[in-house]
Structure 1
Amino acid sequence: MSKNLVIVESPAKAKTIEKFLGGDYTVMSSFGHIRDLSEHDLGVDVKHGFKPIYNVSTDKKKLVSELKKAAETAEVVWLASDEDREGEAIAWHLFEALKLKKEKTRRIVFHEITKPAILKAIENPRDIDTDLVNAQQARRILDRLVGFELSPVLWRKVKSSLSAGRVQSVAVRLIVDREREIQAFVSESAFRVIAIFTVFDADGKPVELKAELQQRFKTKEEAQAFLEKCKSSIYSIDDIVTRPSKRSPAPPFTTSTLQQEAARKLGYSVSQTMMIAQKLYEAGQITYMRTDSVNLSDLALGASKEEIFNTMGESYWQFRQFHTKTKGAQEAHEAIRPTYMNKHQITGTAQEKNLYSLIWKRTIASQMSDAELERTTVTIGLNNATEKFVATGEVIKFDGFLKVYLESTDDEAESSDSESLLPPLKIKQQLEMQTVTAQQRYTQRPPRYNEAALVRKLEELGIGRPSTYAPTISTIQKRKYVEKSNLDGETRDFILLTLKKGSIKEEVKNERFGADKGKLIPTDIGMVVNDFLTDYFPDILDYNFTANVEKEFDDIAEGDLDWQKSLDDFYKKFHPTVEEAIANSERRTGERILGTDPKTGRQVSVRIGRFGPMVQIGTKEEEDKPQFASLTKGQMIDTITLEEALELFKLPRSLGEFEGKEMIVAIGRFGAYVRHNSVFTSLPKTEDPMSITAERAIELILAKREADKNKVIKTFEQDADLKVLNGRYGPYIAYQKKNFKIPAKTEPASLTFEACMEIVNAEPKETKKTTRKKK
């Protein structure tokens, strides 16, 4: 064994670091945490200062034995886990579990895996930071206390097998609150007036000038009256105002801004972004990817300046030092940036290349000059009305940072509203009107959260930290409190009035609204659990309370607060509320009375049942037993109508027998199905459950039998979207509604989460797609 043993968190990191160190160093991996709180009980001795009871994970016992053996023969053990709280805790657990001696143990940290950074870390070792360890320990214990005590309350009062978590429950509340805002939203309409004029450019060619009326009309009559005026109007330019303006670049990436921008520009999920970033970090391509700092090191600032000077010229460089404004930002890490600023591209998978390019562009742009623009506003008057039309245009005089990068937004405003170049114009110049349109426009409901927008909101409220965003979003989906869904939306009519050649034409057109893609929507059980927790545990669900708990963890990390006192203060208030809820709270099913069945006169209600949301006709107090029907996909307890509920009772119907067992067609939570011998077979959307034949049902039953043989091979806690499945053509990986081939000679059941994500992120070889370059 070598004189020096270096222990890192991942084998990929171990391979990279081993290249930088000589033969005197052996690098081994702990594969993340090696110990955790006991799984068989609370794992915390509440009566004795909240002492944690740690056990080595069953799957890590052999590894711990190997590490211990290696440590015994090494002269020095270097604990090189990540530089955040989780990493510090891993280092401490290694020290304790391996029974290391302090005099032969060194703690080293680095925020990038490059040879200079590793050698510098070796030259500057330190002790394990017990304040950081205590902060992580306090979070872990508090979250265990909350989950361990709240979950049984939910089992008794709502439904068995439910669970609750501190940060996860607040994330669900955000999504539930937004859904109810949408349900309560009442859209209002107004008429937006647009005029198209003809003017001539410098070459005498006719061009269009588009202008919008400064005010909107509430009614069709008001809009029509204005268009009547426009028939005889003379249009002329009242004013032209040109002002210079500037746009500045965004700061370098933090964890949350990288997750948001990767979602917008690349379509990556939060967990996918972190997986790819982890690989880039371990390969020495970027700095540490869990950070809430926007700071760049002097070395990075100098390298950025040199790269800008060499590739774009001095006029494109502008020194900028950004400062972290995020509520509760923790350790003084650096922003996420490339390790070498002169490295524009890397080798790797398509996803790795794309994410690296995004990080490089964002970093280099942060040190570039402002973009200089010229914005022109033209006011157009009418000789017979006080209303004014306005046309705007924008010209880029110097592109500055826009040469490299333009930040995306979640704004759903129409792209047609963007400003464009205006033709030469003069004050008092008369304009020839081609058309004036007045279109009925509706106010937009609040948007649902996607994963990236939820991360931004959590960060804004000071809830969670860079290391918790991705697990939180994965957990609430895995627990079925929230679903990531696509909604088709609805259709509505709008009125369009068009003035052209002296006459006004009225048309009724339609548009789709409310369509959503990849948005987070609460399930019925998620809403019922949220309402119960909000009523009986308001502190746990309070945004400020949760943010203040995070602030206490920060204070513990800084050494300004005792971790045991923090837990004691929390538990003294929390535990009595648990006992109160168990003793006095009512059972919750989310029941909602819809009305009366016109055929029977019995009550129609909707609620959570043993197998999910359902409609019930009648009550258990009546002589006749109640009738039940499951809600279909897309229906919710909060919004289903009486008419929609009664439709569900037209089924089930019998299709006769097959193999001596009855076939029943019905509608369930996820759509229409045939039940045969206790097996459910979904009907394709093209099949009508009211008219499907027995022969067709048998075809579908037999097809499902074939497909269901060993269908699910493996699922993963890290990301509920990721599955290893058996398909029609053999085993495959399913992720985000896409399928990925498993390499030959690979045993599907042995695939790890990391191995699956490598396959998902691998660059496709069969086809090459060209995509428009984004800046």
Structure 2
Amino acid sequence: MPKNLVIVESPAKAKTIEKFLGKDFQVESSFGHIADLPSKELGVDVENDFQPKYIVDKDKKALVTKLKGLAKKAETIWLASDEDREGEAISWHLAEELGLTSKNTKRIVFNSITKSAIQKAIENPREINYNLVNAQQARRVLDRLVGYQLSPVLWKKIKPGLSAGRVQSVAVRLIVEREREIEAFTPEASYRIKGMFKTKGGKTFEAKLNKTFGSKEDAASFLKQNISTDFSVAKLDKKPAKKSPAAPFTTSTLQQEASRKLYFSVGRTMQVAQRLYEAGLITYMRTDSVNLSKEALTAAKEAIVANYGESYSTVRNYTGKSKGAQEAHEAIRPTDMKLQSPSLERDQSKLYELIWKRTLASQMSDAQLERTNVRISSSGHQEEFTANGEVIKFEGFLKVYLEGTDDEETAEEQDGMLPAMVVGEALKNQYITATERFSRPPYRYSEASLVKKLEELGIGRPSTYAPTISTVINRGYVEKGTIEGSERKYAQLVLEDGEIKEKGLSEMVGSDKGKMVPTDIGMIVNDFLVTHFTKILDYNFTAKVEEDFDEIATGDEDWKKVMKAFYDDFNPTVQDVEANAERASGERILGNDPASGKPILVRLGKFGPMAQIGDAEDDEKRFASLLPDQSITTITFEEALELFKLPRKLGVYEGEEVEANVGRYGPYVKFGKKFISLDKGESAFEVEMDRAIELIKAKQKADAPIAHYEDKEVTKGVGRFGPFLKWNGMFINVNKKYDFDNLTKDDIVELIEAKKQKEIEKLVQEWPEEGIRIEKARWGRHNIIKGKVKVELSKDVDASKIALDEAQALIEKKMPKKKTRAKAKPKAKKS
């Protein structure tokens, strides 16, 4: 038995560390936290100084038993979870649950998984830092208080199943407010002037007028002033300039740049970075620091000099906005700067290369530039055209890397090179254009720009950005936009050869593809929280809470005092809102129904956004679901009225009624009990009977048996997991080994028999008369199954020894209780 037990939080991390330690060390994983607050109750004793109630989940009990046994046999236990607050809390929970003592327990931290870093950590152990533990507890407890007290208010006042959170609700607020800015924006048109000029030497370049015109008439009038006029170089300025490299990556800048350059989502970036870190290729990827160690600076310099020469190297020390104890030792960098292109899977390779280039560029010389500004005068008017040019004299860091920009920032037009000119030189004008352009609304947030905004406001920390974004999307408060945009026409006037002509052009505008768009429920929840919980949704308050956590982490603040100050203000507000606030549905009255005179309104209903004819007291009110691309906040009266034309009766086919309608998954045709989706671009308002029959026949053909086996039909289809066969109630995946469109009889038999054998191998016990069986499941577990009821057994249970009465008892416990209705009291007779 090894003398040393090393416990980390990740199996991949354990595997890498094992390579650097000898036979005296055994490395095990805790698979994250082994203890946490219970999932189905508050788990915080508010009356007893906010004492958390930590429990070991049933899934972790076998693991904890195993680690306890290993710890008892080891001479020294090394707690080696990550060096941030979350990692410190994991080590603390391990010490508590395994009953470890300071006598033989050591805490080690490292920000990269390399042999030298691990050995250095073992040579410099420390004790658990309880300030960091308390900072993590404070965040966990405060977020639990907010979530568990706000969510029931939302269930009662808006809709069951909703949730709220301290950071997620503020993120939704940012997205909703941006959407409202876009909705309120009115584009204004103006005409921008550009001209193409030719020098004496025959070189052409473009110049623009630093003035716009508000109407086509004014723009045309200006163009007329340029007919038969002479142009010349009025002024020529050349100035040296420089560009400096960006700092090495922090968590948020890595997320932003991976989005810009690699089109990774924030979650994907963190998953890939985690794998690179656990493989020992980069330093810890949750950090606010832009610092590099002396070893890293030396390694970067050596790599730069070796690849590009001494003149490209400039050692730089960056300083960032300190976040106290949350800040890790270093920025994100490769652990070995000599390793430029390790053999990795595609996503890891791309992200590693991005980190390597950014780190290297941060230690390179400035790019030396020469910027030129030319002003062009006209004999026909006083306005001047201008052109800017840029020449790179020395590439410096640009040889390796240039930081990207966000699309929401108005990017300046790229400066190109200008031809040689002298002051007073005559220029020939080839043409001048006056192009109608429209002012643009603010851009919707992308994942990366939302992270940037949250960081600017001081909201959240590196570990919170990815889960915050995934939470607001999974909750249905925000969705990724899918609209490509719409066509907008604009005019262009062209002066050429002394004649002005007009062109009609078009452009795509209003695209929200991939951007963060609030849903109706997101807007309603946000408005309710902003109205009734102003402080919780306040940006400054949320940032102040983060500062409190930082002070707790440095030992300058007591976490329980912070909780008490928050709760004493928060709890009375919750009680008041729950008792007195009105229900929220986002209701908008659009007008009156022309046929009945009843009001037409839109609101949030039990199954989502809906239109309604008639008020709440109307016994004959009618309902219609909004289409997937419609919103309570923007739908018009005419669009709402159109919804009540659904479902459309199309006719009768094979004795069954055929109708068109719209459901939660879009437009469809209903034929008997079958629902057949319309193709993209087809509308339930426009589809006719001929097209419906075409879809029905295609569906019937797809659903028809392709064979029979053991006197039972075999059908095929394509589901979310790919192509499949269905036989005797079993779904059988068809892999790429088979030609799905041309399956032979032998193929079908082979697939069915393989599935039957797999089912036999899964079976542990069976009681056919009772309809109960025990099967093997994933991860070494077993399930007891009866009909649609499934009971998952703990890993440590021997499924082969379970008796029928035990299985029945577990099934009974799991089965939903039947609701009994109280008998209605007989109504009193009218006198």
Calculate the TM-score normalised by the size of structure 2.
Answer: 0.84
Q: Tell me what 2:89 maps to.
A: 89
Q: Tell me what 2:696 maps to.
A: 698
The farther-off stretch of 600-609 and 580-589 is 600-609
Q: 1:454 to 1:429 in 2, by over 3 A?
A: same
Q: Tell me what 2:783 maps to.
A: none
Q: 1:427 to 1:713 in 2, by over 3 A?
A: closer
Q: How far 1:307 moved relative to its partner?
A: 1.2
Once the two structures are superposed, the pairs formed by residues 317-466 of structure 1 within 5 Å of their partners are 317-325=313-321, 330-411=326-407, 417-466=413-462
Q: Tell me what 2:631 maps to.
A: 636
- Code of the residue aligned with 2:290 in structure 1: it is V
Q: How far 1:656 moved relative to its partner?
A: 5.3
- Code of the residue aligned with 1:543 in structure 2: it is Y
| Cα distance per residue 1:208-242 (max 9 Å; x no partner) | 12100111111111111110000021111100000
Query: Structure 1: how far apart are the matches of 2:74 and 2:575?
Result: 52
Query: Structure 2: how far apart are the matches of 1:28 and 1:655?
Result: 65
Q: How far 1:167 moved relative to its partner?
A: 0.5
Q: Tell me what 2:114 maps to.
A: 114
Query: Structure 2: how far apart are the matches of 1:412 and 1:526?
Result: 22
The farther-off stretch of 702-711 and 10-19 is 702-711
Please say if 1:488 is aligned against 2:476: no
Q: Tell me what 1:67 maps to.
A: 67
The farther-off stretch of 459-468 and 592-601 is 592-601
**8 Å Cα contact 1:632-1:670 kept in structure 2:** no
Query: Structure 1: how far apart are the matches of 2:303 and 2:62?
Result: 48
Please say if 1:608 is aligned against 2:604: yes
Q: 2:649 aligns with which of 648, 654, 675?
A: 654
Q: 1:530 to 1:691 in 2, by over 3 A?
A: same
Q: Tell me what 1:139 maps to.
A: 139
- Code of the residue aligned with 2:102 in structure 1: it is K
Which SS does the other structure have where 2:427 is aligned?
strand
- Code of the residue aligned with 1:109 in structure 2: it is V
Q: 1:727 to 1:639 in 2, by over 3 A?
A: farther
Query: Structure 1: how far apart are the matches of 2:683 and 2:262?
Result: 38
Q: How far 1:409 moved relative to its partner?
A: 0.5
Query: Structure 2: how far apart are the matches of 1:11 and 1:709?
Result: 38
Q: 1:594 aligns with which of 582, 590, 595?
A: 590
Q: 1:702 to 1:107 in 2, by over 3 A?
A: farther
Once the two structures are superposed, the pairs formed by residues 708-727 of structure 1 within 5 Å of their partners are 711=719
Once the two structures are superposed, the pairs formed by residues 268-307 of structure 1 within 5 Å of their partners are 268-307=264-303
Query: Structure 1: how far apart are the matches of 2:58 and 2:302?
Result: 51
Q: 1:704 to 1:592 in 2, by over 3 A?
A: farther
Q: How far 1:314 moved relative to its partner?
A: 0.8
Which SS does the other structure have where 1:216 is aligned?
strand
Q: How far 1:667 moved relative to its partner?
A: 2.1
- Code of the residue aligned with 1:652 in structure 2: it is P
Which SS does the other structure have where 2:437 is aligned?
strand
Q: How far 1:703 moved relative to its partner?
A: 7.5
In the alignment, structure 1 segments of 5+ residues that lack a partner are 715-725, 733-743, 753-775
Which SS does the other structure have where 1:510 is aligned?
strand
- Code of the residue aligned with 1:594 in structure 2: it is L
- Code of the residue aligned with 1:539 in structure 2: it is K
**8 Å Cα contact 1:195-1:212 kept in structure 2:** yes
Q: How far 1:333 moved relative to its partner?
A: 2.2
The farther-off stretch of 659-668 and 50-59 is 659-668
Query: Structure 2: how far apart are the matches of 1:50 and 1:417?
Result: 56
Q: How far 1:158 moved relative to its partner?
A: 0.2
| Cα distance per residue 1:678-735 (max 9 Å; x no partner) | 7644211254433343523434655887999895679xxxxxxxxxxx9985699xxx
Q: 1:165 to 1:657 in 2, by over 3 A?
A: farther
Query: Structure 2: how far apart are the matches of 1:414 and 1:167?
Result: 28
Q: Tell me what 1:243 maps to.
A: 239
Once the two structures are superposed, the pairs formed by residues 152-167 of structure 1 within 5 Å of their partners are 152-167=152-167
Q: Tell me what 1:37 maps to.
A: 37
Please say if 1:233 is aligned against 2:229: yes
Query: Structure 1: how far apart are the matches of 2:653 and 2:115?
Result: 70
| Cα distance per residue 1:252-274 (max 9 Å; x no partner) | 00000001100110111111111
Query: Structure 1: how far apart are the matches of 2:307 and 2:226?
Result: 54
Q: How far 1:346 moved relative to its partner?
A: 0.9
Query: Structure 1: how far apart are the matches of 2:566 and 2:298?
Result: 47
**8 Å Cα contact 1:327-1:459 kept in structure 2:** no
Q: 1:461 to 1:678 in 2, by over 3 A?
A: farther
The farther-off stretch of 509-518 and 581-590 is 509-518
Query: Structure 2: how far apart are the matches of 1:751 and 1:182?
Result: 49
Which SS does the other structure have where 1:446 is aligned?
coil
**8 Å Cα contact 2:668-2:676 kept in structure 1:** yes
| Cα distance per residue 1:644-692 (max 9 Å; x no partner) | 1112222212345679875432123543123466764421125443334
Q: 1:667 aligns with which of 633, 646, 662?
A: 662
Once the two structures are superposed, the pairs formed by residues 494-573 of structure 1 within 5 Å of their partners are 494-573=490-569
**8 Å Cα contact 1:328-1:551 kept in structure 2:** no
Q: 1:329 to 1:539 in 2, by over 3 A?
A: farther
Calculate the TM-score normalised by the size of structure 1.
Answer: 0.90
- Code of the residue aligned with 1:43 in structure 2: it is G
Q: Tell me what 1:9 maps to.
A: 9
Please say if 1:580 is aligned against 2:576: yes
**8 Å Cα contact 1:327-1:460 kept in structure 2:** no
Q: Tell me what 1:18 maps to.
A: 18
Q: 1:7 to 1:487 in 2, by over 3 A?
A: same
**8 Å Cα contact 2:325-2:554 kept in structure 1:** no
Q: 1:470 to 1:407 in 2, by over 3 A?
A: same
- Code of the residue aligned with 2:106 in structure 1: it is R
Query: Structure 1: how far apart are the matches of 2:116 and 2:325?
Result: 27
- Code of the residue aligned with 1:630 in structure 2: it is S
Structure having greater relative contact order (Cα 8 Å, sep ≥ 6): 1
Query: Structure 1: how far apart are the matches of 2:718 and 2:160?
Result: 27
Q: Tell me what 1:468 maps to.
A: 464
| Cα distance per residue 1:165-189 (max 9 Å; x no partner) | 1100011111001011100111111
**8 Å Cα contact 1:262-1:273 kept in structure 2:** yes
| Cα distance per residue 1:271-325 (max 9 Å; x no partner) | 1111111111011100000001001011101111111111111100111100112
Query: Structure 2: how far apart are the matches of 1:385 and 1:554?
Result: 62
Q: 1:478 to 1:238 in 2, by over 3 A?
A: same
Q: 1:552 to 1:379 in 2, by over 3 A?
A: same
Percent pairwise identity: 56
- Code of the residue aligned with 2:175 in structure 1: it is I
Query: Structure 2: how far apart are the matches of 1:321 and 1:703?
Result: 69
Query: Structure 1: how far apart are the matches of 2:17 and 2:292?
Result: 23
- Code of the residue aligned with 2:187 in structure 1: it is S
**8 Å Cα contact 2:593-2:613 kept in structure 1:** yes
Please say if 1:211 is aligned against 2:236: no
**8 Å Cα contact 2:660-2:687 kept in structure 1:** no
Q: 1:658 to 1:8 in 2, by over 3 A?
A: farther
In the alignment, structure 2 segments of 5+ residues that lack a partner are 705-714, 723-730, 738-753, 763-775, 781-831
Q: 1:713 to 1:750 in 2, by over 3 A?
A: farther
**8 Å Cα contact 1:292-1:329 kept in structure 2:** no
- Code of the residue aligned with 1:356 in structure 2: it is Y
Q: 1:446 to 1:414 in 2, by over 3 A?
A: closer
**8 Å Cα contact 1:292-1:333 kept in structure 2:** no
Query: Structure 2: how far apart are the matches of 1:596 and 1:638?
Result: 18
| Cα distance per residue 1:144-169 (max 9 Å; x no partner) | 11111111100110001111111000
Query: Structure 1: how far apart are the matches of 2:241 and 2:777?
Result: 59
**8 Å Cα contact 1:525-1:608 kept in structure 2:** yes
Which SS does the other structure have where 1:231 is aligned?
coil
Q: Tell me what 2:640 maps to.
A: 645
| Cα distance per residue 1:463-488 (max 9 Å; x no partner) | 11001100000111110100012222
**8 Å Cα contact 1:328-1:550 kept in structure 2:** no
What is the aligned-residue RMSD (CA, Å)? 2.5
